[in-house]
Chains A and B, each alone.
Chain A
């Protein structure tokens, strides 16, 4: 099975609100007093783990990490190598500006075609920066294949794959034909593994294949972003927290209970 996992770098989502700023363009984030810290997107990490587990279970399979981004995205592809991905592809062209999920899905679909196709494409259920939650279903439309969202587990079966998925709080088990796109949510079964030292060392020497717009026969319209962020504004910061104090736990508990009762909340 040829498995392609879409990975991505995001601005560290845990950067506290007090250092979060907006840059002079008014359209992008900036971080006070430091360079922005980029980290691998969390759900994409779960997708990568799921893809690698599946690759290991099915003899003759390959796991390819794919990223749309400039050379700073090499870090996330090196990490995929360190977690034993077989190959890594980065699609980038300096003419791609402010891509949204719809445009990215077109570029990814054409990149997958350029590297020989895929039986299963995995991606995170949503990225932890812009949080569009559009890429997976849009990519399935681009590839004209089924799409299963919010998967926690994927196992191969005779007719394709069996997927356990979270459907608005209910657990559904579905069977899908291949090829397919599956978006992945976090679960105890797909927690990202730790890289082995040997694999981490090797990852620095492995080649990342880079493809640009010229190699992809893109449709001009579909590779244009469908939406544009005109500007960002800072969200209002909540009021200070009032601390409930007391000499011991019982006193604190009584104070909180009394307070919430007075407010009519309990």
Chain B
């Protein structure tokens, strides 16, 4: 029996998310006493480098699915490649990073091979020789312990739920290269890719995030958050309510259905704390809530709270941080 982990890479380097998926896959394989191999898509030196990186990060070996699926975001092509890898390895479990692409893949691949789909997985336990998968449900209010009813499982690993595995260059393993299957045309054609990288805050990797919600009263309120975020070396995020109101693009959204984040410091300004928002910040180390309503649910999650009007507090806070910065540099 073999477990597989689909590991995305950028020009041969595994992404932190890919390493996190490998970490969970390694721990599961150890508990089940099975081999675990990384699955890499692409060709040439970059795919070979990613295959070696997967081994360094915990895989017993790698499978490179080559030809025409390099760094590909076409769900149809990637799903076909993963099905090929599963069949090649006679795998019983495939781990997939559950980001936007992962959300397309899990249902598709599971359907094609008759596997079960278990998503948003954060951990597991082995009970009576079987894996019981753990995943948050009901906006993070409960943890579900799930068992597959089928011999094969596609596991969607919840973003930011796993520590990032360190690479060990001494590890060795075999690399198989297989050809991507011919996949049917997806019926979908990309016309335009907008939202350049500088417009899109890199929420997932940010150390500091300053997020705004409906309490800001309008799009103008985000200007002071940008100033504060720049001062703190962070990026600006938003609640779903602020995005739905059109104050900032949806790419700013932090929450269960926006970016799931795990910064060192998360400052929530004028965010009431809807469950789906809180579910996206469970990994934040320090949450500071600034809200004029002392009863706002955000204070149930925050570590530090300030009951204040955002429009008055945020500029004052930015000025205090600036004073500390200039004091420190003197």
Contacts and interface: CB of A to CB of B under 8 A. Distances in A.
Interface of A: 11, 13-17, 20, 22, 29, 43, 100-102, 105, 125-126, 128-138, 140-142, 145-150, 152, 160, 162, 166-177, 180, 185-188, 191, 221, 224-235, 237-239, 241-244, 249-250, 252-254, 256-261, 263, 265-266
Interface string B20-42: 00000000000000000000000
B115 A226 contact: yes
23 contacts: A16-B297, A16-B300, A102-B110, A125-B103, A134-B107, A137-B107, A138-B108, A141-B112, A142-B111, A146-B186, A169-B203, A170-B193, A173-B192, A186-B243, A186-B250, A188-B245, A226-B110, A237-B300, A243-B304, A243-B307, A257-B317, A265-B265, A266-B265
Nearest to B98: A133
Interface in B151-194: 153, 156, 186-194
Q: Which DSSP category, helix, strand, loop or mixed, fits chain B's interface?
A: mixed
Interface residues of B, number: 97
B299 A175 contact: no
A252 B98 contact: no
Given A147-B104, A227-B118, A102 B142 contact: no
B259 interface: yes
A253 B274 contact: no
Interface SS of chain A = mixed
A147 to B, nearest CB: 7
Interface in B181-231: 186-195, 200-201, 203, 208
Given A138-B108, A226-B115, A256-B288, A241 B145 contact: no
A170 B101 CA distance: 12
B250 A152 contact: yes
B188 A148 contact: yes
Contact of A249 (B117, B149, B188, B308): B308
A239 B320 CA distance: 27
Given A166-B100, A232-B144, A259-B304, 7 more contacts: A101-B117, A133-B106, A146-B186, A166-B250, A171-B195, A186-B244, A227-B153
B101 A241 contact: no
Contacts of B308: 249, 252
Q: What 10 A-B pairs have minimum CB-CB distances, sorted nearest first? A: A226-B116, A137-B107, A188-B246, A146-B187, A138-B107, A141-B111, A257-B320, A253-B316, A171-B195, A134-B107
A2 B275 CA distance: 35
A125 B312 CA distance: 37
Interface string B261-275: 000110000000011
A233 B116 contact: no
Contact of B250 (A142, A187, A260): A187
Interface string B298-330: 011111111111001100110111011000000
Contacts of B300: 16-17, 237-238, 241
Interface stretch (B46-54, B61-69, B86-94, B131-139): B131-139
Interface in B98-129: 98-101, 103-108, 110-112, 114-120
B6 to A, nearest CB: 15
A265 B75 CA distance: 39
B276 interface: yes
B309 to A, nearest CB: 7
B321 A266 contact: yes
Contacts of A171: 193-195, 249, 251
Contacts of A149: 75, 100, 103-104
B256 interface: yes
Given A172-B190, A228-B147, A257 B139 contact: no
A232 B142 contact: yes
Contact of A169 (B188, B195, B232): B195
Given A169-B195, A235-B136, A256-B288, A227 B116 contact: yes
A14 B275 contact: yes
A253 B243 contact: no
Given A105-B107, A230-B147, A242-B305, A131 B275 contact: no
